[in-house]
């Protein structure tokens, strides 16, 4: 999933935090810096998994200093990084008693829906919990990018209605969304108008088995010549 590039001042902060993490990741004195950096990631729409994991590990040693607000923001940013396994990595470092908090139970449910590509259920649940998710800008757009990635790995041709359900976009906004991907991602509208539209997606080894088979079946000659001496 694409990540926004930090500005020069943000790069300096990132550099400083990463240096703190590298030099002494278990120093509790850096905990406030790491918490501030989480808020900086939220406001600047940047992301550092390494720094966030370091903070969660420090919380394990300093549980009385844990900020559930900061932890929630870390988990939301991790959801935005899907299909990377960041959410599971972060969750592993959060005590079970903390996970029982309602906002974390909600985020775990949302993660499950995304992992299983149950996008309709995801968007329905997200709509009920805007107060949790809206604190992190770009969340909806990040999940839409993930949904497009899932569709591209699953379908050769996908109905407009499926795109609408996966991205939670409808009407004119969906028209513009599809037009954008036609122009930039190789999508082709093959037939129909309105809800009857069918969109062809670029072929890849996941949505087009023949590509994977042909790649697997074609063994380079130099590999074969290396095998012969071993067999002999």
At 153-190, the pLDDT tens digits run 999 999 999 999 999 999 999 999 999 999 999 999 98
Helices vs. strands in the chain: H and E counts, helices first: 14, 3
Q: For residue 229, what pLDDT is reported?
A: 45
16-25, 174-183, 213-222: the lowest-pLDDT one? 213-222
The confidence score (pLDDT) of residue 230 equals 41
pLDDT (tens digit per residue) in 102-133:
999 999 999 999 999 999 999 999 999 999 99
* Out of 67-71, 142-146, 186-190, least confident range: 186-190
Give the pairing type, strands 198-200 and 157-159: antiparallel
d(CA 43, CA 103): 20
Please check whether residue 75 is in contact with residue 104, taking contact to mean a CB–CB distance below 8 angstroms: yes
Helix (H, G, I), strand (E, B) or coil at 190: strand
Do 147 and 119 touch, CB atoms closer than 8 A? yes
Distance CA 46, CA 159 (A): 33
Under 8 Å CB-to-CB from 185, ≥6 apart: which residues? 148, 202
Q: Helix or strand or coil: residue 188?
A: strand
Question: What would the two tokens of residue 133 be?
Answer: 């998710």
Structure tokens at 103: 């906002």
Q: How far apart are CA 178 and CA 188, in angstroms?
A: 9
Look at residue 211 in the predicted model and tell me its pLDDT: 63
């Amino acid at each position: 999933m694409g990540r926004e590039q930090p500005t020069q001042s943000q790069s300096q902060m990132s550099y400083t935090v990463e240096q703190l993490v590298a030099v002494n990741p278990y120093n509790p004195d850096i905990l406030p810096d790491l918490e501030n950096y989480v808020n900086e990631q939220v406001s600047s729409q940047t992301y550092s998994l390494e720094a966030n994991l370091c903070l969660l590990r420090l919380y394990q040693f300093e549980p009385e200093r844990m900020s559930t607000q900061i932890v929630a923001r870390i988990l939301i940013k991790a959801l935005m990084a899907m299909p990377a396994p960041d959410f599971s990595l972060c969750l592993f470092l959060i005590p079970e008693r903390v996970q029982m908090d309602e906002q974390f139970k909600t985020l775990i449910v949302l993660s499950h829906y995304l992992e299983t590509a149950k996008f309709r259920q995801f968007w329905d649940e997200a709509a009920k919990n805007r107060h949790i998710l809206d604190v992190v800008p770009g969340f909806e757009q990040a999940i839409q990018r993930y949904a497009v990635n899932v569709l591209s790995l699953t379908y050769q041709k996908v109905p407009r209605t499926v795109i609408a359900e996966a991205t939670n976009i409808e009407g004119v906004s969906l028209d513009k969304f599809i037009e954008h991907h036609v122009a930039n991602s190789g999508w082709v509208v093959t037939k129909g108008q309105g809800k009857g539209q069918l969109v062809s997606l670029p072929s890849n080894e996941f949505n087009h088995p023949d590509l994977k088979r042909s790649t697997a079946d074609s063994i380079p000659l130099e590999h074969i010549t290396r095998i012969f001496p071993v067999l002999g």
